[in-house]
Amino acid sequence: MKTEEAQSDSVNAVEPEDSKPEAAPSRALALDADRVDSGRRSSILVAVAAILAVVAVFCGAQWRSAANETADLRAAAADEQRATEIARDYVKRSLTYDYRNLDAFFGAVTDGTGDTLRERYKQVRETLGKIMTESQVVASGNAVSAAVDSVTGDQYRVTVFAIQRTQNVQQKDPASVPNLLTVTVAKNGGAWQVTDYGPQKVAP
C-alpha cells in the first residue's frame, strides 16, 4: 500500500510540471507581436518625419519665394517714386529762369541729363538765350503732380502737371500758365538721368 501511495504521490507531483511549458509559446507570441508593433510604430514615425521634412522644405521655399516677391515689389515701388521725384525736380528747373542769369538756367537744365538731351540744349542755347534776353523773360515753375505712365526696362516715362508764372517786357504782370509735360527718366546702375523732356503729345 505504501508503494502505491508513493507512486500516486509521485504522479501527482509530476503533473503540475507537465502543465507549465504550455505558457511558453504564448509569451513568445506576445514578444513577437510586441516586436511587430514596435517595428510598425518605428516605420510610421519615420514616414511621418519624412513627410514633415518635405512639408518644411516646401513651406520654406514658398516663404522665400513670397519674401523675394515682396522685396521686388518694394524695390519697384521705390524706383518709381524716385523717378517721379526726379521728373518733378527737373520740370521745376526747366520752368524757372531769368534773362539776367541764363548761365544758371542752362546749367540747371543740363545737370543730370543724358547726352542726347544735353546736346539738344547746347544746339539751341544761343538762339533761345537771345530770345529770352530780348523778351526780358522771368519765370518760375511749380510741379503740381506727377505720375509714372509706363516703365520699359529701367526707363520711366513720367507725366508732370506744372504751373509756370511768367512775365516779360510785353507782360509786366505775372501770368500763370498750365503745362503738361513728359519726362523720361532712366536708371543706370545706381545713377539716374533725365533722357528726354517736352510737352506731352496729344493724339490727333
More confident residue, 127 or 3: 127
> Which amino acid is residue 22, in one-letter code?
E
Taking residues 41-53, report their average pLDDT. Answer: 70
Q: Say how many Å lie between the first and final Cα of the chain, rounded.
A: 141
Which residue segments constitute the domains of the chain, with CATH numbers given?
Answer: 57-199 (3.10.450.230)
Report the C-alpha gap between 117 and 194 in whole angstroms.
Answer: 8
- The 10s digit of each residue's pLDDT in 87-117 is 999 999 999 999 999 999 999 999 999 999 9
- pLDDT value at 7 more than 50: no
